[in-house]
Every structure is written in structure tokens, then in C-alpha cells.
Amino acid sequence: MDGRQLLPLSRPPRLVAASAASTHGGTDEAYRLNRIWCLNLYQGHGELTWRGQTLAIRPGSISLTAPDTDHGYRYRGPATLTWLHFLPDHAGDPTAVPVMQDAGPAFLGLLGQAKEAVHSWRERPERAQALLWSLLWQVADRDQPAAGDLPAAVRRAIAHIEDRLADPLTAGDLARAAGCSVTHLNRQFRDARGCAAMGWLRRRRLERAQHLLSCSTQSAARIAANLGFVDLQHLSKALRRTTGLGPRALRAEGVDGPSAEDAGHEILTRD
């Protein structure tokens, strides 16, 4: 999904574990967090291995990793990071957030807010939750241009997509709605949203499917049909590829809401 993943942000997340300054280095580290999302803010150099990609870690980098997916870290020398493990509330529309981004000059402010959430967690959990929620929105918004900043062709294509998520749209359909060529539209889409126009269509269909699975009683097969997927298997494969969970698991989490007690995590260290 173009280095992004779908994080439900419509409601506050629940912070379940955190560290303000954790020192790492010297060994490779492999993780698999069961049900738990992880936000890392880095002060050091290294690499994150995630779903077959190797992403550079630099001072000022921020990563967000989804649960139930193997990933690993290799640091070049000692590295300090602030990390927060949390459970999102799946009732609401998900937001596409990059796995890794460079926060630039904003990093120190974001780091300060993350540390404030960590220090508030034990004695004032509601305040820590509010700080984390705000922090996640700031991390997500850094990658999303405001609607008013989008080129007119991209705005027209997005409006066409939102009105016709279930239709069998093609790249040519989107270009005609946008009033330009496919090549020109894709170039502007990549600059504005980081993916081609058809990639954005797929993303929005998956976001809507995840929302409906979490918040409605509509059958998964009907959701697949209403959002333009070939069948339920097609939807299931797409969801597993982007979220690590199938329709049944997404529905169960949306209805029941995983508890902090259930949210154990497994940490493996390799030589």
C-alpha cells in the first residue's frame, strides 16, 4: 500500500505500554506485536525491515507498525528511541499513515509530546490517551496535503472516486472525470498523495470496507460486492495484505474491542 497502512483514528486509542528513552544497539531485534500498534520516535541510525522493505532510520525518523506482522530492527551504534504501544478503537474511518517518515524540524515538538504521554500514562491515563491521540493525528497529517492544496484534477478525481466506489472504474474513467490525461493525473496524484489514481481508489475501497466490517452488521460478502471487489476472497486477500487481518478478525475487533489484558506481545531477539 505504497508504504502506508490503515490506522483507525476517529476515536481515542488506548495506551498499553510505553518508554520515554529506550537504548538499543549491538544486536538485531525482531518483533511481532499481537494486536498492538507501535509508534517509535528515533534518535539514532539504523534500518527497519517491514514486509520485505528496508527503511532507513535516522535521527528525527518516526515509524508506525501495525500488529501481527513480523518486523526487525538493526541499529548502527547506540540508538535511543521513545516508543508507545497502543490499541486503536476500530469504530470509525481509518486513516492511511506512512510506516516511516522524517519529521524534520517538527521532530523535537513531537518527541516532547510523546514523552509527556509516557510520563502521564500511569497516574493520568486519560491525559496520556489524549496526548497520544493528538500525536498520531499530527503524524498522519504530516503526510496528507490539505484539500485546498490539491491540484484541481486530483480534487475532481477524488470526488469521482467517492461517488462511485462500487463502480468498475478504470484509469481512463478517472482521467476523463479529472479533465486530463492518465499520465498527467497519475503524476499529480503521486505528488499529492504518494500513489497513482487507481492506487487511491483501492485505498479508499479498503478503508470503507474496514469501516463497514468494524461498525456495521452488513455481511462481508455484501460489503465486497458493494465496493467493487470481485468476491469475498478478493476483499479478504486485500485486507490481509494491508492490515494483517481478514474480514472476520476485523469484525470481531470492531464489535468486541480487544482488551489490554488480551493484548500481549511477543519479543524475539536474534543473534
CATH value at residue 68: 2.60.120.280
Mean pLDDT per 10-residue segment, the chain (271 residues): 75 91 84 91 91 88 91 89 91 80 88 94 92 92 64 91 86 95 93 87 86 82 89 90 84 51 32 26
Q: How far apart are CA 230 and CA 209, in angstroms?
A: 13
Q: Write the secondary structure of 173-236 as one string of H (helix), E (strand) and C (coil).
A: HHHHHHCCCHHHHHHHHHHHHCCCHHHHHHHHHHHHHHHHHHHCCCCHHHHHHHCCCCCHHHHH
The one-letter amino acid code at 140 reads A
Q: Give the pLDDT confidence score for residue 263 in this predicted structure.
A: 34
How many structural domains does the chain have? 2
79 within domain boundaries: yes
**Does 10 share its domain with 133?**
yes
The H or E element that residue 156 is part of is helix 152-163
Residue 57 and residue 72 in contact, taking contact as beta carbons nearer than 8 Å = no
Residue showing cell 496520556: 128
Among 73, 23, 28, which residue's Cα sits nearest to residue 43? Answer: 23
Among 202, 182, 194, 193, which residue's Cα sits nearest to residue 242? Answer: 202
**Does 122 share its domain with 193?**
no
Among 77, 8, 93, which residue's Cα sits nearest to residue 45? Answer: 77
Among 205, 207, 203, which residue's Cα sits nearest to residue 215? Answer: 207
**Which pTM was predicted?**
0.57
**Does 163 share its domain with 122?**
no
The one-letter amino acid code at 25 reads G
**Does 153 share its domain with 92?**
no
**Does 12 share its domain with 128?**
yes
**Does 163 share its domain with 55?**
no
pLDDT in tens, 117-158: 999 998 899 999 999 999 999 998 876 555 557 899 998 999
**Does 84 share its domain with 178?**
no
Instruction: Quickly count helices (H) and strands (E) in the chain.
Output: 9, 12
Q: How far apart are CA 91 and CA 74, in angstroms?
A: 35
Residue showing cell 498492538: 36
Q: Give me the phi and psi of 153, to 5 degrees please.
A: -65, -40
CATH value at residue 221: 1.10.10.60
Q: Give the pLDDT confidence score for residue 144 in this predicted structure.
A: 59
Which positions ≥6 away from 163 have C-beta within 8 Å? none
Which residues span the domain enclosing 82?
4-141
Q: Give the pLDDT confidence score for residue 8 in this predicted structure.
A: 87
204 within domain boundaries: yes
**Does 105 share its domain with 185?**
no
